[in-house]
Amino acid sequence: EYIWNRNDIPKVDRLDFMIDVMKTDTSLTAVEYAGRHFASGTGQKIKPLTVEYFTEWWEKHKLEYQ
């Protein structure tokens, strides 16, 4: 939540961070929060624990946020 609410960090970097959390964090709660923020930040209505989908989607659409 702290990173997501930082307006001094570019959105693309915050979204990248959320993907990193979803892929590497061992806390299911942290992964769920990151997925929720990623979904809202990209305008998707996908369940927040859909890590594989988000990862693949981000690889295809990351340049749109730069």
How does DSSP assign 1-50, residue by residue? -TTTT-TTS-HHHHHHHHHHHHHH---HHHHHHHHHHHHHHTT----TT-
- Alpha-carbon distance 13 to 66, whole Å? 9
Using the 8-state DSSP alphabet, how is residue 55 labeled?
Answer: H
pTM of the model: 0.92
Residues 5-62 pLDDT 10s: 999 999 999 999 999 999 999 999 999 999 999 999 999 999 999 999 999 999 999 9
